Amino acid sequence: MRNKSREKLINIIFIAYMFFRFIMKLFSQAENFTNYITINILILALTLIITIIENFYIIVLFILIKIMRRKEYKNQLSKIDYKNEEVYYREILKGYSPFLLSYIDNFIFKGKTDIIATMLNLQLKKVIKIENNTIIKLDNAINLEESEQYILNNVSNGKIKINDIRELEQKIVKDAQNKGLIKIKEVQKSEDMKQLKDKLVIFFIISVCIIMFISIIAISINNELLTAIVLIFSLIFCNPFFYIILYIIKYYLNKPKIRRTKKGEEVNTKLEGLKNYIQEYSKLKEKNANDILLWEEYLIYSVIFNINDKVIKEMDGLFN
């Protein structure tokens, strides 16, 4: 699932890994510590530098992923998303499920939050009824979007369980296309990604064999320059992370480009105005799921915009 929690998890894992490697390297330098603060600081600095050098490819890979994801995200959004305009819009956006509105807002599927907003909307449309953390299906499931129907199909024994979150996200994207909110530009692929992976594996094996062969020659003729060249090339071409980086670059270059249509931009502009209005309407944060008939869509939108934690926590029991 693509969301901010995943980004945070990736960051935490990377920082924890680097910190662990640094501590392990520091322990190996323990016998070099003295009673002199200056020398100890130099040892710490040197240990940190060595740790960074040893993990060069991992750091490059991490930075590359972050840059590409940020670039992809910024390219998807329009300039209006970066304008801090105090625009207010009070009208409810009819004809679009919370799934679609949440997705075109920032092109991120927020998982459980979006599902809860959609469940509240289905209750408002009298497709379901929610009582005591139990979902009761009614007989009004008509004219639903594919993503909404997918949610209903995954309700069993009063609870919802989504086994394939990726499939749900694909249905949301398809619904957004069908509603004319987004357009997807397929990038022409020069070769299949599986074929690329096979080629990179073969190239890695060939590189190892070539480096080993040249190393034998360098050692036999005792040529220091050739030995240094072999060492440099082996660090690059015989390192698996080099090929992982190449694969990731190719993967991002071949990802479909998602953009809002003119209609999508108009809906999103209204959505931004509605977000500003609801954020200012502080009393809404105090409402709970039982107030759905009173507050109707405003409560749903407060969930979409993630400014009503009370409802999200309250409805957590609907999930298996």
CA distances (Å), 118 to each of 131, 184, 222, 266, in order?
16, 24, 71, 22
- The Cα–Cα gap between 4 and 12 comes to 12
Of 226, 255, 284, which residue constitutes the final position of a domain? 255
268 shares a domain with 308: yes
User: Would you say residue 82 lies in a domain?
Assistant: no
User: Would you say residue 83 lies in a domain?
Assistant: no
Helix, strand or coil for residue 257?
strand
Q: How far is CA 163 from the centre of its chain?
A: 18
265 shares a domain with 178: yes
309 shares a domain with 296: yes
- Residues facing residue 134 across a β-bridge: 131
DSSP letter string, 180-196:
TSEEEEPPPPSS-HHHH
List, for residues 211-270, the tens digit of each pLDDT value.
Answer: 777 777 777 777 777 777 777 777 667 777 777 777 777 776 666 678 889 899 889 888
60 shares a domain with 34: yes
286 shares a domain with 154: yes
175 shares a domain with 310: yes
Q: How far is CA 69 from the centre of its chain?
A: 8
CB 124 within 8 A of CB 300: yes
Helix, strand or coil for residue 281?
coil
270 shares a domain with 306: yes
Of 76, 110, 136, which residue constitutes the final position of a domain? 76
User: Would you say residue 275 lies in a domain?
Assistant: yes
Look at residue 1 and tell me whether its pLDDT is greater than 70: no
Number of CB atoms found within 10 A of residue 199's CB: 13
144 shares a domain with 9: no
User: Would you say residue 45 lies in a domain?
Assistant: yes
Of 31, 48, 76, which residue constitutes the final position of a domain? 76
CB 287 within 8 A of CB 264: no
User: Would you say residue 81 lies in a domain?
Assistant: no
Look at residue 30 and tell me whether its pLDDT is greater than 70: yes
291 shares a domain with 177: yes
Strands, E assignment, the chain: 128-131, 134-137, 155-156, 159-160, 182-185, 257-260
174 shares a domain with 112: yes
Look at residue 81 and tell me whether its pLDDT is greater than 70: no
Q: How many domains does the chain have?
A: 3
Alpha-carbon radius of gyration of the chain: 27
Q: Which amino acid is at 312?
A: I
Mean pLDDT of 183-194: 66
DSSP symbol at 256: P
User: Would you say residue 220 lies in a domain?
Assistant: yes
204 shares a domain with 72: no
> What tokens appear for 204 in the block?
């890695």
pLDDT at 78 (0 to 100): 55
100 shares a domain with 64: no
DSSP letter string, 61-117:
HHHHHHHHHHHHHHHHS-GGGG--------S--TT--HHHHHHHHHS---THHHHHH
Identify the domain containing residue 114 by its residue range: 88-183+260-318
User: Would you say residue 72 lies in a domain?
Assistant: yes
List, for residues 122-167, the tens digit of each pLDDT value.
Answer: 998 899 999 888 999 988 778 899 999 999 999 999 999 888 888 9
